[in-house]
Amino acid sequence: MFITILYIVSSFLIFKLFYPIFIADEVIITYGINPFDICSKNPDLWKYIKITYIITFIISNIIVNNFLYSKISKLFNSTSSKSKKDKKINSIKYDKSKLSLLIGYDFKNNKNILIPESGLYQNFLITGTIGSRKNI
């Protein structure tokens, strides 16, 4: 619903801004010494420019509005999803009577990922992409 309203408002504003050019009977392009009226000398070209403008306006307006909507929705969803993740991580419990290292939580199987005591006396290779918090 938001994206539709944003699309309609932005379409109206841009159409209002460029409407005088769109309905113009003469558009004089000055280059060099001779002015050139594209509407009277090449009416077919002017018609194709208008059609191209309409098509590119619709496509670019949809792209820009979807981009803005995704950024706004991420902004609102990121604050609520962080608090849900924090609650989920804080609710993880493991057996403290055995020596083990909790390295994460498997959300697919709803189980803790633990390294048992025997595994703590060996070498580890920790890999991951940049920003995946390997050093914590």
pLDDT cut 90: percent of the chain above it: 0
Q: Report the chain's terminal Cα–Cα distance, integer Å.
A: 42
Q: Is residue 5 helix, strand or coil?
A: helix
DSSP character string of 55-109: HHHHHHHHHHHHHHHHHHHHHHHHHHHHHHHHHHHHT----SSS-EEEEEEETTT
**pLDDT confidence of residue 79:** 58
- Residue-wise pLDDT for 73-125, tens only, equals 777 776 555 555 444 444 445 566 778 888 888 888 888 888 888 888 888 78
pLDDT score of 71 more than 60: yes
CA 37 to chain centre: 42
Q: Which residues pair with 105 in a beta bridge?
A: 112
Determine contact, residues 46/25, Cβ cutoff 8 Å. Answer: no
Is the pLDDT reported for residue 60 higher than 80? yes
Decide: 59 and 51 in contact? Cβ < 8 Å.
no
Q: Residue 111: which H helix or E strand, with range?
A: strand 111-116
pLDDT for position 95: 61
Percent of the chain with pLDDT over 70: 84
Q: Write out pLDDT tens, residues 14-56.
A: 878 878 877 777 777 777 777 777 777 888 888 888 888 888 8
Q: What are phi and psi of 7, to 5 degrees?
A: -65, -45
pTM over 0.75: no
Beta bridge partners of 37: 28
